[in-house]
């Protein structure tokens, strides 16, 4: 049981380049999330998806696009990377609903370190 | 949207001391969790606690939903408790938006 898998783990981009961060979960969870973490800023929500085929903006969506093509995968795309997007990116998932503890626990990937130069 | 405030932002303790971390939120919630982020960046779930009290070893948590706050207690702190502690909530408004506080950075000195 891999849980939440993010790729790549490390990436260096040049300003203006594009890339996609991939996230896959094997827990059959409905909700998936993308966060960025900057020093002293905690985790800020970029986009989230409550179910397959739906996405919603979070706190800091500008400069990003997402895609939830199936239940397992939720990708984050930077179309034209900027130095301000240098950050650690975390993907997370949650079952939803008011079920038991395990159903409402949030599971995180190990993070993707992105540097834009 | 819902606001989450954590205090204190920084906390320095000697090994063996006790501490209380606080999380205030601005709206009713149906999900509240506490996390520990270790020095390697890994986020570890500590408690799922939208209301009530739970304990796990030296850690315990209490959420008073009607007053919109949650407390995380760490007793007999150890150097391995160092890191950042986050509170995260989902409001009852029906959205699946999961919002984090800015965290409390805990340093436990030997």
The structure tokens listed for B81 are 């408790």
Please judge whether B43 and A40 are an interchain contact, meaning their C-beta atoms are less than 8 angstroms apart: no
**Average pLDDT of chain B to the nearest whole number:** 94
pLDDT in tens, B24-48: 999 998 889 999 999 888 899 999 9
User: A59: which chain B residues are within 8 Å (Cβ-Cβ)?
Assistant: 1, 99
More confident residue, A1 or A86: A86
Dist CA A29 CA A97 (whole Å): 11
A31 interaction partners in chain B (CB closer than 8 Å) = 96, 98
Contacts of A99 (CB under 8 A, 6+ apart): none
Identify the weakest region by mean pLDDT among A41-50, B5-14, B68-77.
Answer: A41-50
Q: Which residues of B83-99 are buried (b: 16+ CB within 10 A; e: fewer)?
A: bbbbbbbbbeeeebbbb
pLDDT of residue A100: 46
Whole-angstrom distance, CA of residue A39 vs CA of residue B67: 30
Confidence of residue B97 (pLDDT cuts 50, 70, 90): confident
Give mean pLDDT, residues B68-82.
Answer: 97
Residue A24 pLDDT greater than 90, yes or no: yes
Whether B102 sits inside 8 A of A41 (CB atoms) is: yes
pLDDT (tens digit, 9 = 90+) per residue, A30-81? 999 999 999 877 899 999 999 998 999 999 999 999 999 899 999 999 999 9
Structure tokens at B63: 């959420």
pLDDT above 70 for B71: yes
Nearest to A90 among B43, B45, B99 (CB): B43
Q: Quick check: B33 and A105 CB within 8 A?
A: yes
**CA–CA separation, A97 and B109 (whole Å):** 40
Q: Distance of alpha carbon A27 from its chain centroid, rounded?
A: 16
Chain A CB contacts of B48 below 8 Å: 101, 104-105
Residues from chain B contacting residue A50 (CB–CB below 8 Å): 95-96
Identify the DSSP state of B15: T
pLDDT, one tens digit per residue, over A5-14 is 999 999 999 9
pLDDT digits (tens, 9 = 90+) for A80-114: 999 999 999 999 998 875 544 444 788 999 999 99
> How much is the pLDDT for A97?
56
């Amino acid at each position: 049981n891999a849980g939440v898998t993010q790729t790549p783990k490390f990436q260096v981009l040049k300003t203006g380049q594009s890339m996609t961060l991939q996230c896959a979960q094997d827990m059959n969870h409905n909700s998936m999330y993308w966060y960025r973490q900057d020093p002293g800023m905690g985790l800020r929500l970029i986009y989230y998806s409550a179910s397959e085929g739906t996405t919603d903006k979070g706190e800091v969506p500008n400069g990003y696009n997402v895609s939830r093509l199936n239940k397992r995968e939720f990708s984050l795309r930077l179309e034209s990377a900027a130095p301000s997007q240098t950050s650690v990116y975390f993907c997370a998932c949650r079952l939803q609903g008011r079920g038991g503890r395990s159903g409402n626990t949030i599971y995180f990937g190990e993070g993707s370190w992105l540097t834009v130069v | 949207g819902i606001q989450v405030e954590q205090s204190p932002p920084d906390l320095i303790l000697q090994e063996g001391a006790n501490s209380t971390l606080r999380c205030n939120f601005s709206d009713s919630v149906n999900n509240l969790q506490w996390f520990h982020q270790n020095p390697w960046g890994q986020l570890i779930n500590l408690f799922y606690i939208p209301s009530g009290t739970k304990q796990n070893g030296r850690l315990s948590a209490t959420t008073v939903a009607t007053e919109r706050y949650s407390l995380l207690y760490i007793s007999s702190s150890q150097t391995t408790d160092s890191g950042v502690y986050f509170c995260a909530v989902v409001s009852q408004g029906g959205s699946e938006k999961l919002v984090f506080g800015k965290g409390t950075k805990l340093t436990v000195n030997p």
